Amino acid sequence: MILVDGVPFPNPSPSPSASQGSEILEALLEHPVLVSASNLFKSIPARKISVPEESGPVKYVYVFQREYATVDPALVEIVGTDEATTCVGLVICNRKTGMTSVAHMDSPAVVDLGLTQMLSLVNDHVSAAELDVHLIGGYEDASHERPHGIVESEFRTESDGYSFPLCSKIVEALQRSKENFHIQTVCVLKHNTRRDSDANTYPIFTGFVVETSTGLVRPAIFDTSLRCPDEIVRRIRVTVSSADPTWRGKLLETYDTHTDQFQIAPCSWTPRWKYFALSLQQLSDPEILLRCSTSPYAEGPDFVDNERRLFDYLIQHPNWRETFPTAKPRVFERTTDGQWLRC
């Protein structure tokens, strides 16, 4: 159940032309308390997460696309994500325990099971938990059409773009749940859209960070060196997971909450991906943007380079068992200087 300013959010009157999720979303976007919260969020300077931080090493957890992580504030200082254009970041924080779960959702198909994954540790299961929720990301992308790419997003229509169906699915799932979700921030779609002189749309924010000691959520940009550990392997999993039945409808598992370790759960791919990567590697940079992005005009400057490194890895490692021997996770421990070391 969704609550705003402590009050249960009513289900809107059914409309024959819209889904319940889209009706709820439209009402949330217009709610004066949430409009004020979005304006406040947009007034906060983006935090640049880099190494070294002025105050010394920071215990952080970084979440890639289609991943989630639940962190204990006693072990982790900040948790966040970036590189989100049409994707949406979902934050769920237990008011009592401070346990915080962050997901970088890229498709309506992962919302239902993904929400279950997030709640498995953030909810203490002792009493009815009061959970603070923040939605950040996605923008009014409907005007940006894209040729057929690597994987077509589920539940998409040309008129809706990618962001709107995803946001609608998320709020519908929250409203259906028996948990008490106190919506604090809805900085998505029109609240996260800027336009250039030609009326082209772009996201205002593509990343955020949660400070676990306070629950404060603010815009953020991560240094490329902090999108770790195991950056390329985790990017590979995002690309190939849609074809791996192990991960159908799920968010990718990355971080072990109890041990404060990254445990990159295995994902498989067939040798066919090598030849697919070879063909994509021959494309020009603009062609790669059009083929591999849901928002080719809004991606960061390193998008194509990241894709080419991903292609190189698939070409050099066509057998997924080279990456995940005996189908075991790749485990990384935190070092004293805040970095990650593979076990």
pLDDT in tens, the chain (343 residues): 999 999 999 887 666 556 889 999 999 999 999 999 999 999 999 999 986 665 667 899 999 999 999 999 999 999 999 999 999 999 999 999 999 999 999 999 999 999 999 999 998 766 678 999 999 999 999 854 444 344 433 444 445 799 999 999 999 999 999 999 999 999 999 999 999 998 899 999 999 999 999 999 999 999 998 999 999 999 999 999 989 999 999 999 999 999 999 999 999 999 999 999 999 999 999 999 999 999 999 999 999 999 999 999 999 999 999 999 999 999 999 998 878 999 9
Residue 42 vs residues 36, 81, 82, 124, 245: alpha-carbon distances, Å: 10, 17, 16, 32, 39
Residues shown for the chain: 343
Q: What is the pTM of this model?
A: 0.92
Q: Quickly tell me which residue has 């490194």 as its tokens.
A: 309
* Cβ contact 247:62 at 8 Å: no
**Class of residue 141 by CB neighbours under 10 A (exposed 0-12, middle 13-18, buried 19+):** buried
Is there a contact between 101 and 91 (Cβ–Cβ < 8 Å)? yes
CA distance 58 to 50: 9
For the chain, which domains are there?
Answer: 2-342 (3.30.1330.200)
The angle formed by the CA atoms of residues 135, 42 and 66, to the nearest 5 degrees, is 30
E strand spans, the chain: 2-4, 7-8, 47-49, 60-62, 67-71, 78-81, 88-94, 100-105, 130-137, 180-188, 193-195, 201-203, 208-211, 216-222, 252-253, 255-256, 261-264, 330-334, 340-342
Torsion, Cα 178 182 188 191, to 10 degrees, reads 150
Of all residues in the chain, what percent are helix, strand and coil, respectively (each to 5)?
A: 35, 25, 45
- The reported pLDDT for the residue numbered 14 is 65
